[in-house]
Structure 1
């Protein structure tokens, strides 16, 4: 084993509920940009788990406490299986994002389930988790968390854009890292395409055939969140309150809902990265070629997609990196990004 090399597993579950992303990655402790994804896999959720996670926003405190433990056990078993299947021998720690159920930072609330203690019990490994709570306690948004990784691992890009359940962006402005959620993406597109019996709109095939509802598009673009200055972040609760009722009141045809929402997303993202070419785009939305075309049309730039592995697993990779920074007691949460009172090293460590 190379001296000063650390080996970890990053675990990520996003709001679009595609599944659990797992990466086994090595980092050079002397030069963090020297990293390598050794194994990576997405474990799809069963119908039961998907339903549970979708409905958990309405659970009681007792039900959420039970789900936290059950989901921690599920993650523990999933990681144990990953270790076994890939015959992984050396692990310094596991870093788990968990799954976000509640996110209302303005009320001091954020909840990512997936009890780290349960993951430790099952895998017999050190586990770093619960990366958001401390930031919210310090007056921050608790999101987005990956910008420190963008800054330290991908500094050659002007912008790092993630197209997942939500789109979020990270960039350097006069030596300060700025990052925030731009708008919902797959959390809305997948919700409506599911009604047609599909998991997602493959390459934007369905949305490309719909018609733009100009009234709906205008009202979506007028939502006050888009006028707010960062730091700012979004959650499922916001989508349920602001987006779904608006769509359902103005449009019933699903291809037209998808077409209109793709245009909305493209307009919001295009405004942010207008005429910048050095853009790293990751997340499931990067495979939606119709959405990508519309973003490029509004952004007036040319965007190159990175390798599929990075598109799929960048967030899991960056949570492994956040875990490494926490273990090394280095800053992994930036006040310029979240609005917290100070930069800090966030996360909770469980030992076997």
Structure 2
């Protein structure tokens, strides 16, 4: 049975809420609907940065001390506003939506301690939008010993099946963290985080220029990457580990660059992201013949150029070039995952998150 789902995603880059409509039965995608975006205000972003800093002391998933309670309320309101604006703009009635997939805002991800915390009050959101909300997608996986990330691979597989490409294919999503999905036919699905995405670069740009990110990679294009720094950074133990593996946004925060020009710093951190993605190739069963780039990094022309250099002779394409939405793909994925969750289909697998067996997940909050 086909369902109409809305997916909501607020990623580690703290930029805002992505909204996307999708028609799916949880196995294949019948149609993409419209997508939308609700940016976080500077105040909300500041609140979330504080929440990330304070979340490191959390000892239980449910606790919301101090600023975390305020941040959770802000996240919930932002998502409710995003849904209201989206449905009004596209004249969608709530009766026509079967489920909303609500990821929430990750403030802590420590799978080794069986802890993953996404803030956002799903019950309050469901009451506000009058639509059932599926949330807390990662908890069951982490509780069972999985990495709890990445969760989009099953959606990447559904998309890739429609392309009918020869040979192994990799979808790389470059958000705050970069992750890949390796797809080889219907049987082989492997996924993992590869290293930093835009997080280090965004933080550097904000610190040295006041800009939230390197628009289209223009700053990096004017600089020269410090390849010795990149090589040293790649000696971190994480990069030699086989998949599945996952990261927290701030796991590489200690690798800061100091005393470099903005252009050289941006070039170096962009090169680090590209090199970390290329570093996964020897750890895969076969080298992918084609790479599809989604997420914010797909709009960074310098990032794409560096990926093409490091992944040659494989092809590297932006998701938009295939008719996919680089911006909405993760939001679409959580609509798709909500439909799978409703049907009790697995959301994660041993080769995507390291969970012992295929795991269902998600909790429903009803209005």
TM-score (norm 2): 0.87
Going from structure 1 to structure 2, the CA distance change for 1:289 and 1:170 (only over 3 Å counts) comes to same
Following superposition, the deviation at residue 201 of structure 1 comes to 1.2
Matched, 1:258 2:270: no
Deviations 1:218-276 (A, max 9, x none): 22121111011222111123133x433xx24xx44222111111222222222335863
SS in 1 for 2:86: helix
Matched, 1:338 2:333: no
* Partner of residue 219 from structure 1, selected from 232, 243, 254: 232
Q: Contact (CA 8 Å) 2:99, 2:132: kept in 1 or not?
A: yes
The number of residue pairs the alignment matches comes to 342
Q: Does 1:80 align with 2:84?
A: yes
After superposition, the C-alpha distances for 1:69-126 in whole angstroms (9 at most, x for unaligned) are 4422331232122212221021111101111100111111111111110110100110
In structure 2, the residue matched to 1:193 is 205
2:328 matched to 1:313? yes
Greater Cα offset, 271-280 or 110-119: 271-280
Bigger fraction of residues in helix: 1
* Aligned 8 A contact 1:331 1:345 in 2: yes
Q: Distance in 2 between matches of 1:214 and 1:295?
A: 15
SS at match of 1:310: coil
Distance 1:231 1:305 in 2: 24
Of 56, 62, 66, 2:65 maps to 62
Aligned-partner Cα distance in 1 for 2:139–2:73: 17
* Aligned-partner Cα distance in 2 for 1:286–1:227: 25
2:178 aligned to 162, 167, 172, which one?
Answer: 167
Listed one character per residue, the Cα deviations across residues 186-225 of structure 1 (whole Å, up to 9, x for unaligned) are: 1111111123122221221111212333442222121111
Q: Which runs of 4+ in 1 moved over 4 A?
A: none
Secondary structure in structure 2 of the residue aligned to 1:326: helix
Listed as ranges, the matches of 1:212-251 within 5 Å are 212-240=225-253, 242-244=254-256, 247-248=257-258, 251=259
Matches within 5 A, 1:102-181: 102-155=108-161, 156=164, 158-172=169-183, 175-181=187-193
Q: Which runs of 5+ in 1 are unaligned?
A: none
Q: Distance in 2 between matches of 1:141 and 1:21?
A: 24
Distance 1:268 1:223 in 2: 11
Give the Å deviation of 1:43.
1.2
**TM-score under structure 1 length normalisation:** 0.91
Find the aligned partners of 2:30 and 2:266 in 1 and give their Cα distance: 38
In structure 1, C-alpha distance between the alignment counterparts of 2:74 and 2:268, rounded to whole Å: 38
CA RMSD of superposed structures (Å): 2.0
